[in-house]
Structure 1
Amino acid sequence: MAIDYGTVRIGIAISDPLGVVAQGLETIKVKKHDPEAAVNRIVEIVEMYDIGTVVVGLPRRTDNRIGPSEMNARALVSTLEERLTIPVIMQDERFTSVIANRILRNSTVKAKDKRSVVDQVAAEVILRDYLEQLRRG
């Protein structure tokens, strides 16, 4: 399972049991008054789909300095490591949102629906990259 973390929306993607295909599952809306609800939903998904590894996209800056988005993603990783008994790893996600927007631009998804799925598509890209790295060894 991969997570494209944001402070407003969190994209979730999962793969088939063989790790061949990645597909978007859902977009979790983060409630400002209850951000813990998003973490609870992630834990529910892990349990529901019997996930073996969680890959969290790490939004690195192009100058390699740590920015607020990366700090938030790292905080999520720490929280998930406390709540889950499976590996939680970080995957560089630079440019995944750009790639996701390109994919959606070339898709049949209606413009009004793109905002709600772009985070899922970004999570798919993160998961595909991770699975490809595993295949390459």
Structure 2
Amino acid sequence: MRYLGIDLGSSRTGLALSDALGVICTPLTTLAEKDEQRLMSRIVAVVQEQNVETIVVGIPRPLSGGSNRQLESVLSFMGRLENEVDVPVHGWDERFTSKLAERGRSRKVAQDAVAACYMLQSFLDSGADFTGDGQADDR
């Protein structure tokens, strides 16, 4: 099963793609779209071109718990994305992935795709299964 990982940011969005078996991922690209509809169109195109079967979006949970504007924005984006694609869209904790991506990287553009890859690999390594009752969904 091929997964697409999305690290949604306010100015850049990192994408990562798993292998066909859903075992390992690689950074795919960073989209510098600020217009949400254009961003959505580009993500839909990637889903179709890469035969993605499940989308995993990084959820920016505050360390203190609760909610914040970034979290609400990502959850809202996920809801709209679900209406645009014919594959499941799920959330997964992305805390610390941007910090991990910064290590050893000097180009910010690449960092967003690397952060998406860290988040997606965390999901893949967990063995989470979204086909059942959705318990693994981190929304």
Output the TM-score relative to the length of structure 1. 0.87
Please list the CA deviations of residues 15-64 of structure 1 after superposition, one character each: whole Å capped at 9, or x if unmatched. Answer: 11011221011101123xx3210011000000000100000000000011
Q: Give the RMSD, CA atoms, in angstroms.
A: 1.6
Aligned twin of 1:35: 36
Q: Distance in 1 between matches of 2:128 and 2:42?
A: 29
**Deviating 4+ runs (over 3 angstroms):** none
Identity of aligned residues (%): 34
Q: Distance in 2 between matches of 1:135 and 1:59?
A: 18
Q: Distance in 2 between matches of 1:84 and 1:35?
A: 15
Given residue 10 of structure 1, which amino acid in structure 2 is its aligned partner?
T
Q: Distance in 1 between matches of 2:17 and 2:36?
A: 22
Q: Distance in 1 between matches of 2:13 and 2:113?
A: 8
Give unpaired runs (5+ residues) of structure 2.
130-135
Tell me the number of residue pairs that the alignment of Structure 1 and Structure 2 aligns: 127
Quick one: structure 1 residues 135 and 61, their matched pair in 2 at CA, closer, same or farther if it must change by over 3 Å?
closer
Give unpaired runs (5+ residues) of structure 1.
none
More helix by share: 1
Given residue 29 of structure 1, which amino acid in structure 2 is its aligned partner?
A
Aligned twin of 1:67: 68
